[in-house]
Amino acid sequence: MKKVWVLFSTEMWEKFNFYGMRAIFALFLVHFLGFSESDAALYYGGFLAFSYLCPIVGGFLADRFLGYHKSVLLGCAFLAVAQLLFFVSASGFSSVGFALCGAILVMFGNGFFKPSITALLSIKAPKDISMDAVFSSYYFFLNLGVLIGSFVVPYFGDVVAGGVRDISAFKWGFLSAFIAMIVGIVIFALFSKNDENFTPKHAQGMKYNKRNLLISSVVFIAIFLLICYVSSTQNVVKMYLYPAIYAFGVSMICYVLLDKSLDKIERENIITIFISAIFIVFFWASFEQIGSSLTFIANNQMDRSLFGFDVPPSMISMFNPLFVLILSFLFSAFYIKLGRKNIEPNSLNKQAFGLCLLGVSYLIIAFKVHDLGENLLHIKWFLLLYFLHTCAELLVSPIGFALVAKLSPKRLLGLIFGIFYLANAAGYALSGTLASLLPPTSDKFILANQLGIDLKEILNSKGEISDDTLEILKQNGLPSEYPNIFGYEICSLFEFFMLFFVLCFGAGVLLFIVAKFHKMYNLKKDKNV
């Protein structure tokens, strides 16, 4: 494991940077830039989606031209500069423009960094240790960075005094994320020079094929137009960006599988990876509510008092990485023990169980908020939710990365990691769509009453609303109707959380069935795929 400590350390500081920023990003959009919570959820999902879409291009460039070492350095540089731009934006200088440029650089930075750091890890990992165990240990250091970032950045950037939010504090959160990324760059630049030796000098990559490109393009256009046709929104992100991500993912899968250079075993291994990737979309769509809808609930309708300390809403997400730190080595040791006894479940079954567990976590919280009304939900229930989230995460995410590392053809390693991140992108896009279905929380009804408006009557009424009332609602960020999906209105937090239970538990059961009937081609040295 000594060979990979630099990668672990670099990843830790990058996660400090990215997830620290992510913790306050949605609140920054709402309280500083003035977006509604619904729009902020959609833009947040789109931002994260593109952050995990760009690794497709970054992985390809790393495989063919730049090499993994240079790609990691370039990605770190983009991420550092991005936080400086967010700092300038939060200081009030052309706020939206600088924030947009910062978001674009975060996307580019992730594109170069993510596939290359994981490709280096899969190449340098010890051969005598289970890849699942290696990636579970990697997950420990990754989440150490997430934990520190999720505490430090909100500590400086999410400040509420006397019930009033100090929006000037956002810039200090972004500045702390910048400093963390600089530390990561220095560590990687000083101690990882030998990593260049692990980059393929004559990478074959995937050869361009006009026929395959044409077929994949037709698939992209067909799926894109179909999703746009059935979409019933006027929001540009939801109407065009999200369908493009879904269509691009399917078309890329088609392009890879059509490649004739793949032999039978390679093709079956890649199919296994893509099965995992498809179901991971549903996992991240539900899990990533942490950064949007769950943060809004924590901000609007939660008693956040914990041992006498009022936890900032964006800081609650730090309990997820904290639980990862506690549980990751236990999971890793558990996998090793089961492997020695030849009773370790295969990767797809682990992920199926993780999806079901994630669904159960939402089922528990759904019944807890049933009939909550305008009362506050205590923070302890979110701690239970995040604990179960974490157990599910350790059964899904590191197992997926290990699956890619074990089964990907080495000449396509960066590209396949990029496509696997594309599943994350699709999941984040879907998370934005689902987060926008969050019904109004108690603070909205209280504010409406203070304005002399009976919001509940308006939401339950199917009649027309006066223009003056609509203008007041719009100016104060209040909804005029309940969110709906496929014509079904989401009127309560109970219905909102039950949506995720059905999605995750159903996906988990389906994956169990798929895993049972899917013939998995195992590597000779690692039968536990």
- pLDDT above 70 (res 136): no
Helix 5-31 to helix 170-191 angle (10° resolution) is: 160
Average of per-residue pLDDT across 103-129:
82
Average of per-residue pLDDT across 210-239:
85
- pLDDT above 50 (res 194): yes
Q: Which two tokens stand for residue 154?
A: 């909100």
Note the pLDDT of residue 204. Answer: 55
For residue 388, give Cα distances in angstroms to 320, 353, 359, 362, 425: 9, 12, 9, 9, 23
Note the pLDDT of residue 283. Answer: 95
Note the pLDDT of residue 524. Answer: 36
User: Considering the chain, what percentage of its residues have pLDDT values greater than 70?
Assistant: 91
pLDDT band at 2 (very low <50, low <70, confident <90, very high): low
Q: Which two tokens stand for residue 214?
A: 């044409």
The count of other CB atoms within 10 Å of the CB of residue 282 is 25
Identify any residues that bridge with 484 across adjacent strands, giving them in sequence order. 489
SS (H, E, C) 50-108: HHHHCHHHHHHHHHHHHCHHHHHHHHHHHHHHHHHHHHHHHCCCCHHHHHHHHHHHHHH
Note the pLDDT of residue 202. Answer: 43
Phi then psi dihedrals of residue 515, to 5 deg: -60, -35
Q: What is the DSSP code string of 446-512? A: HHHHHTT--HHHHHH--S---HHHHHHHHHTT--SS--EETTEE--SHHHHHHHHHHHHHHHHHHHH
Note the pLDDT of residue 56. Answer: 77
CA–CA separation, 71 vs 74, rounded Å? Answer: 5
Taking alpha carbons only, the member of 118, 122, 113, 139 closest to residue 55 is: 113
pLDDT band at 525 (very low <50, low <70, confident <90, very high): very low
Taking alpha carbons only, the member of 355, 381, 354 closest to residue 493 is: 381
Note the pLDDT of residue 523. Answer: 39
Q: What is the tens place of the pLDDT at every residue in 456-496?
A: 888 887 667 788 888 888 888 888 888 888 778 888 899 99
User: Considering the chain, what percentage of its residues have pLDDT values greater than 90?
Assistant: 29
Of the two residues 461 and 165, the one the predictor is more confident about is 165
pLDDT band at 1 (very low <50, low <70, confident <90, very high): low
Identify whether the C-beta of residue 60 lies closer than 8 Å to the C-beta of residue 414: yes
Note the pLDDT of residue 129. Answer: 66
Of the two residues 420 and 505, the one the predictor is more confident about is 505
Note the pLDDT of residue 94. Answer: 66
Mean pLDDT of the chain: 84
CA–CA separation, 154 vs 392, rounded Å? Answer: 25
Note the pLDDT of residue 467. Answer: 81
Average of per-residue pLDDT across 365-370:
90
Q: What is the tens place of the pLDDT at every residue in 299-310?
A: 888 888 888 888
State whether the Cα torsion 479-41-295-315 is positive or negative: negative
Identify whether the C-beta of residue 76 lies closer than 8 Å to the C-beta of residue 113: yes
Of the two residues 280 and 432, the one the predictor is more confident about is 280
CA–CA separation, 149 vs 179, rounded Å? Answer: 11
CA–CA separation, 251 vs 256, rounded Å? Answer: 9
What DSSP character marks residue 309? E
End-to-end CA distance of the chain: 21
Q: What is the tens place of the pLDDT at every residue in 398-423?
A: 888 888 878 888 777 767 877 887 88
Average of per-residue pLDDT across 68-94:
90
Note the pLDDT of residue 527. Answer: 46
Taking alpha carbons only, the member of 485, 419, 23, 44 closest to residue 242 is: 44
Taking alpha carbons only, the member of 112, 108, 109 closest to residue 71 is: 112
Q: Diameter of the chain by CA atoms?
A: 71
Average of per-residue pLDDT across 35-45:
84
Q: Which two tokens stand for residue 174?
A: 């972004």
Q: What is the tens place of the pLDDT at every residue in 230-273?
A: 776 667 777 888 888 888 888 988 888 888 888 888 888 888 88
Task: Show contacts of 219-222: CB within 8 Å, 24+ apart.
Answer: 219/247, 219/250, 219/251, 219/254, 220/247, 220/248, 220/250, 220/251, 221/247, 222/247
Helix 347-369 to helix 493-517 angle (10° resolution) is: 160
Note the pLDDT of residue 132. Answer: 62
Note the pLDDT of residue 432. Answer: 85
